[in-house]
Structure 1
Amino acid sequence: MGPFCRAVFLDADHKLIGYLEPKVRFLRRAWIGDDFVQGVERLLTVPTRVVWAGPRVGEQSSLYDKAASVAPLVAPQHGFIGRYILNHDKRTYVDKATVRHGDDRRRVHPLPMLTSESDCTEGDFTLVGAWAGDRISMSATVPTGFELLKYDIVPN
């Protein structure tokens, strides 16, 4: 099920902007269409560094703990949710419409999985955390020069 994790937002210099606290364990919030993840998407109208950060046993200076030093953000209830997740640092994107369903008809949302610290997930997925701390935004279109990232994490 995974630990509790915060969606932590950082500025261009990797300084804390704020965070969102889901109040439930990570993998219970990693689905396309989930209200919490959509709230995070609505905050990504401009390229912003984001990390899904979890507590680390015995580490007092983890990003999860540091996030508590700034005010929590409030996600908009309404607004734009783009089809494409853009990584402006790697110039890659994921098309949420192509994410495959699992046996339970759910689709693992790429955003929390790609931007999570390894402590936030279960399993051995090479894509997990590959975008953590990168500048991410949501878009209805793909900019010229961005390459499609094949995202194939499917729930068991």
Structure 2
Amino acid sequence: MGQFCRAVFLDADHKLIGYLEPKVRFLRRAWIGDDFVQGVERLLTVPTRVVWAGPLPRPHGVRADESLYDKAASVAPLVAPQHGFIGRYILNHDKRTYVDKATVLGSDDRERIHPLPMLTADGSGCDGGRTGGDVALVGAWAGDRISMSAIVPTGFELLKYDLVPN
């Protein structure tokens, strides 16, 4: 929760395409309706590998450039479209599963944690920290081919996403 994270985009061979950086801490931007997350969604018009990457803790002897967060800075940052399609469904083309954003549970304050950053978090600080529900979901889709859609393709199964803010 306390880490800064980047939405990193990778090609089919896991090579860097680019990244978006919100310049604020992870859970401050991981909400349904957040403009930054919607910008990431607008870039996912075709299946693309995505990871919400944070800076890894650097134990003695580990090079600073070994985290995906740091490696992403070697490519140009992307610019998210301000307008465009934002689908109701988040599709994982590798696992053939999907999440329906309309069914995401909310807290008593009506805050709803967006599934995209949570499911694609790499675990290096972008881990949700203060969430309830099945925390094993955090990072379960990191690096998978993800897209947004208005429909669910045949053969995709609904993933029970139940992460809520504590």
Which range, TM-score by smaller chain? over 0.9
Percent identical: 85
Is this contact kept in 1: 2:130–2:165, CA < 8 A?
Answer: no
SS at match of 2:98: strand
- Alignment match, 2:41: 41
Query: Corresponding residue for 1:139?
Result: 149
Whether 1:66 aligns to 2:103 is no
Q: Does 1:129 align with 2:139?
A: yes
Q: 141-150 or 59-68, which moves further after superposition? A: 59-68
The whole-number CA distance in structure 2 between the counterparts of 1:97 and 1:149 is 13
- Three-state SS of the structure 2 residue aligned to 1:7 is strand
Regions of 4+ moved over 4 Å: none
What's the offset of the Cα at 1:2?
2.2
Aligned length: 156
Pick one of 72, 87, 91 that aligns with 1:86: 91
Superposition TM-score, scaled by structure 2 size: 0.92
- C-alpha RMSD of the superposition: 1.0
TM-score (norm 1): 0.97
Deviation at 1:45, TM superposition (A): 0.1
Q: Deviations over 1:64-119 (max 9, x none)?
A: 00000000000000000000000000000000000011111110000000000112
Unaligned runs of 5+ in 2: none
1:1-156, aligned counterparts within 5 Å? 1-58=1-58, 59=62, 60=64, 61-119=66-124, 120-121=126-127, 122-123=129-130, 125-156=135-166
The residue type equivalent to 2:97 in the other structure is: T
Deviation at 1:123, TM superposition (A): 4.7
Letter in 2 for 1:141: I
Q: State the SS of the aligned residue for 2:87.
A: coil
| Contact map agreement 1:53 1:117 (CA 8 A) in 2 | yes
**Higher mean Cα deviation, 115-124 or 144-153?**
115-124
Q: Give the counterpart letter for 2:110 in structure 1.
A: R
- Residue deviations 1:46-74, cap 9 Å, x none? 00000000001224210000000000000
